[in-house]
Structure 1
Amino acid sequence: MREDVVTGPDEQDPIDPQREHRGKVDFTGVQWGSVEWTMLCMLYLRACESRLAHPILGDQRAAQDVSRIDYDFRRIHRRIAPAFNQFGVALRGAHFEAWITDYLNRRPDSVVLHLGCGLHSRPVRLAVPRDVRWFDVDLPPVIALRRQLYSESDTYRMIGSSVTDPGWLDELPTGGAVLIVAEGLLMYLTPAEVTELLHRLVDRFDTGELLADLLSEWGPRLSRIMTSGIIKWGTRDGREITRWDSRLRLVEDVPVVDGFDRIPLSRQRFLYRMVHAVPTSRNYDRLYRYVF
């Protein structure tokens, strides 16, 4: 699970997929604590946020998918405290999607590589220009689950592979423009793996942008205490990326918690305001936009 997700009891009513839409897709084999389980937690948080009267992200497709999936979401609800965590997920997603939409408006003929896509609904929910070719990439077990909810088309493909395996790039076109979206991914790779991935992608296309969220230098420190060191590296200002591949240029960055004033619930808005007020917590998770 992401390092910035608080766990514990929660007073918000859980979504009950068994009541809303019985057993359409069987995910009961997903093991508690696995990568696939983390993906379901993120999906559930987006679904919870979409139920609010004035959501920030408003991912209605996430709510539909939760209602279709046969899994113990009540247990997930008790574990991940949606009343607080749904807003971090929503703020991060809204920042990413504003950048994605802006890029596609400027380059409606581009390729999109959504790395570590999980169960995000972006290719069907966003206004994607018809000439865009969108590739969702994640580990084979994740894509196997995803295929139960989504179908491919002439302009939409799913690739089951680790992003560190160079073989998956053979399924991509070459040249032209690309938008690389890496949400909740790069901090789990080693610096050497990130460097190799960036080199391969920038080599393959003529121009493009990279959108990524990165944790501060506190990320790996906290990870060694809390999660056996699954966070491999942290950043002070996002410029490690530009040093690892000098063709990439940092043009914009923003804290995930920017926009906390949009949170519609007063208690949670106050808590996020406190997070935003302290530089260490405000800058713990930032989004970065690079161009090449």
Structure 2
Amino acid sequence: MQRLRLDLDPLRETLLLTLYARALDTKLPHPILGDTYSADLADAIDYDFTKLKIKPSLVCSTALRAKKLDEAVRAFVAGHPDAVVVDLGCGLDTRVLRCDPPPGVDWYDVDFPDVVDLRPQFLPERSLRIGADLTKAGWLDSLPRDRPAMIVADGLLPFLPGDTFQRMTRELTTHLNRGELAINGYTRFAAWSMKYHPTIKAIGITAAQGFDDPHEPETWNAGLTMVEEQLLTRAPEVADFPQPLRAVTRLMSHSTALSRQGTRILRYRF
């Protein structure tokens, strides 16, 4: 099989971090997500993934947060078979394939135009694609207003400058009217420390936004009400983490403050 070389700038190249982390998860003795779509996709790309220096902690946290966000999407769609799903900053994520929504659901994958244009080269066209710069207004017009909506954002928050994420959330919840928002929530420290991952550091990201209090988004004037905070250090899947990561994660789980510095999934209703 001929592999395809991608011409990505450093910011867009970060989509390969999460893609490869999900692919590596499939090689674990006990995969957490088991995303064989991502494994096949990584094999189809001509790229030296070893230079990303992905550690076991990133593999496990990426796979676990994806699994929990998938579960949130599936639960919402099960209760709203006419739903709209909006996957923000989708990159080459295979969530639409993993969740396999029924025909009545309209799924929108949103990212930079050149990123969403890559998706048909690697993935079955199971979604509608919106190419947009999320820091700018005007891309919401194609989204239906009169149906329940599930908004999901995995790993997006730290990459948006200033209050862009808050503003975008206000615009989304105003346009979409009712539904849920599910994100992996970074604390300020977690977002700050992410900048020092070798690949992220090379990009020179300075935005790195986060928030500590899971109720803070309720103050964004976006009509959000917190439904759930999942501290993933306490997830049963930690039993499948390799050692010594499993032991360290279990130690962290005894402290809410420390657990929040790891991976957490936040879900809000609007």
Tell me, yes or no, whether TM beats 0.5. yes
- Which residue is equivalent to 2:148? 177
Determine the C-alpha separation between the residues in 2 that align with 1:26 and 1:217: 35
Contact 2:157 2:186 in 1 (8 A): no
Q: 2:252 aligns with which of 271, 275, 287?
A: 275
Paired residue secondary structure (2:217): helix
Q: Show CA shifts across 1:199-243 (max 9, x none).
A: 221121231000012211323554677756634433222222111
Determine the C-alpha separation between the residues in 1 that align with 2:49 and 2:244: 24
- TM-superposed CA distance for 1:87, in Å, is 0.6
Q: Which amino acid is 1:144 matched to?
A: D
- Which residue is equivalent to 2:11? 35
Q: 1:245 aligns with which of 221, 240, 248?
A: 221
Contact 1:219 1:233 in 2 (8 A): no
What is the aligned residue count?
263
- Which residue is equivalent to 2:112? 139
Question: Relative to 1, partners in 2 of residues 1:190 and 1:123: Cα closer, same or farther, differing over 3 Å?
Answer: same
Paired residue secondary structure (1:26): coil
Greater alpha carbon shift after TM alignment, 274-283 vs 56-65? 274-283
Question: Relative to 1, partners in 2 of residues 1:264 and 1:114: Cα closer, same or farther, differing over 3 Å?
Answer: same
Contact 2:87 2:153 in 1 (8 A): yes
- TM-superposed CA distance for 1:290, in Å, is 0.5
Determine the C-alpha separation between the residues in 1 that align with 2:21 and 2:172: 31
Question: Relative to 1, partners in 2 of residues 1:286 and 1:213: Cα closer, same or farther, differing over 3 Å?
Answer: same
Structure 2 unaligned spans of 5+: none
- What are the residue-to-residue correspondences of 1:1-292 with 2, within 5 Å? 22-27=1-6, 29-31=7-9, 34-76=10-52, 79-81=53-55, 83-152=56-125, 156-190=127-161, 192-219=163-190, 221-222=192-193, 227=201, 230-245=206-221, 247-259=223-235, 260-284=237-261, 285-292=263-270
- Tell me the percent identity: 30
Question: Relative to 1, partners in 2 of residues 1:124 and 1:223: Cα closer, same or farther, differing over 3 Å?
Answer: closer
Measured on the aligned residues, the alpha-carbon RMSD in Å equals 2.3
Determine the C-alpha separation between the residues in 2 that align with 1:183 and 1:224: 17
Determine the C-alpha separation between the residues in 2 that align with 1:266 and 1:173: 46
Paired residue secondary structure (1:159): strand
Question: Relative to 1, partners in 2 of residues 1:225 and 1:261: Cα closer, same or farther, differing over 3 Å?
Answer: closer
Question: Relative to 1, partners in 2 of residues 1:273 and 1:151: Cα closer, same or farther, differing over 3 Å?
Answer: same
TM-score (norm 2): 0.87
Determine the C-alpha separation between the residues in 2 that align with 1:265 and 1:180: 32
- TM-superposed CA distance for 1:100, in Å, is 1.0
Q: Which amino acid is 2:213 matched to?
A: D
Determine the C-alpha separation between the residues in 2 that align with 1:229 and 1:240: 23
Paired residue secondary structure (2:139): helix
